[in-house]
Amino acid sequence: MILGPHADFIIASYALTAFVVAALVAWVVLDYGTQRRMLGGLEARGVTRRARRED
């Protein structure tokens, strides 16, 4: 594949897009890990999402 005299512009476009997509994927994956860890920690301490009933 020959990219011609403007190869720099084409390569820069694909590199930037790959970087932004990789950043989005990393954000989603890392955030999922963080939320799962925090949820697990709270559940391990016996915290629930329901208010305790007054008997």
Partner 1 sequence: MPIIDLANPTRFLNAVNRVLPWLVAATALAFAFGLARVMGAPDDYQQGATVKIMFLHVPAAWLGMMGWGLMSVAALGTLVWRHPLADVAGKAAAPIGAAFTFICLVTGALWGRPTWGAYWVWDARLTSMLILLLLYLGVLALYWTAEDPGRGARAAAILALVGAVNLPIIKFSVDWWNTLHQPASIIRMGGAAIDPSILVPLLIMAAAFTLLFVTLHLAAMRNEILRRRVRTMQLMQAQALAEAHS
State in angstroms the smallest separation of the CB of 53 from partner 1.
Answer: 13
Residues found near partner 1 in the complex (CB under 8 A): 1-7, 9-10, 12-14, 16-17, 20-21, 23-25, 27-29, 31-32, 35-36, 38-39, 42-43, 45, 47-52
The torsion defined by the Cα of 42, 43, 49 and 52, in degrees rounded to 10, comes to -100
- Dist CA 54 CA 49 (whole Å): 16
Kindly tell me which of 50 and 53 has the beta carbon lying closer to partner 1: 50
